[in-house]
Amino acid sequence: MSDLLVARELEKEYRSGPEAVRVLRGVSLSVSAGECVAVVGASGVGKSTLLHLLGALDRPTAGQVLFDGEDVYARPESGLARFRRTEVGFIFQFYNLLGELTALENAMLPALLQRRPHDEARARAAEALSEVGLGDRQRHRPGELSGGEQQRVAIARALVGRPRLILADEPTGNLDPKTSEVIFDLFLRLQAERGLAFVIATHNQELARKADRGYRLVDGRAVPWP
């Protein structure tokens, strides 16, 4: 398999008053097309920061992110926005669903941001919701869904833009162990059926072992794991 995503010596500092807090100190990793890679570590070690850099939600202090061999951060802001819209799907611990919208309307958003026709966005969203087992819950709002169902809506939303890479930040952090396993197995099924690449940040080592490969964040660097 060829490398789809490569991080080279990523560093990230945040200013806290007069002091700089170094969260990442030279993270290097790779993800092949269609591969599932886990990033493990306790809360606060920089997993979310790393995923934000890989998905161009934030800029690194130093280092490179290559996607299909191209330096992502060499693009202008418009190119970064296009990268986020078309190449990457995001899944978050707290789902980030809009409470006033139905499951179908939430899932449609990436396609609408791509300026797809409304009927196409609706069809894509309905297909994705069926794919994650929520074909009969399309008209429900987030408050009418369980945590596991809300995460499935978030997964469907990530699929609708037809990305090649999914970045999942503690996607089972709010779920019970049984539901967590169901969600992780859903990722693996989507990986196999759609050929998607996944980077999954998690503190759950048992689930992380289901991935093809893994890294542990230690002292701001990525170490192959296990």
The pLDDT, as a whole number, for residue 20 is: 84
The pLDDT, as a whole number, for residue 1 is: 60
Domain ranges of the chain: 35-59+76-225
- φ and ψ of 70, to 5 deg: -100, 135
Q: What is the CATH number of domain 35-59+76-225?
A: 3.40.50.300
Report the distance separating Cα 35 and Cα 199, nearest Å: 8
For the chain of 226 residues, list the mean pLDDT of each consecutive stretch of 10: 92 86 94 97 92 96 96 95 94 92 97 95 96 95 95 95 96 91 94 95 94 95 94
Report the distance separating Cα 14 and Cα 189, nearest Å: 37
Spatial neighbors of 215 by CB under 8 A, at least 6 apart, are: 29, 37, 38, 39, 40, 222, 223, 224, 225
pTM of the predicted protein model: 0.94
